[in-house]
Amino acid sequence: MRLDLHPPIQETPYRIIYGDTDCGGVVYYAHYLRLFEIGRTEYLRTAGVTYRKIEEDQGLILPVVEVYCRYRAPARYDDQILIKTALEKVSPASIRFHYQLEKEGRPICFGYTIHAPVDRNGHLKRLPQGLVEHFQQLLERGHF
């Protein structure tokens, strides 16, 4: 599987800390999903939207309902990596982000997450049309 990143792309630098690694000295596999979240959070912030704002204004949260992560090369303690994040698709029912993690310009991991809006009681909802349009315009412009 190959995932492309379409503009706009958020680039978030991150230095691997000791707590990210396992007993083998490499980043523990589940921590890559946290790195995806760091990239996604910064993407949304740069796009003028935050999880907090979505929750406060719309009463919605966006849990991950599907995730894919393909590991290509390890990251180790103190490595400087770059988290690249791009919005791939948005609809009233879901939003999909793609990710590529790089070390020294080489991909070490790529993947995606799909999120579905739910209310505070966990019931499926739809993203407000204004938010969908905001993200669609962002994709059409190709820049923040």
Residues belonging to the active site: 22
For residue 131, give Cα distances in angstroms to 27, 71, 119.
35, 32, 16
* Cross-strand bridge partners of residue 118: 61, 124
Report the relative pairing of strands 80-90 and 64-71 from DSSP bridges: unpaired
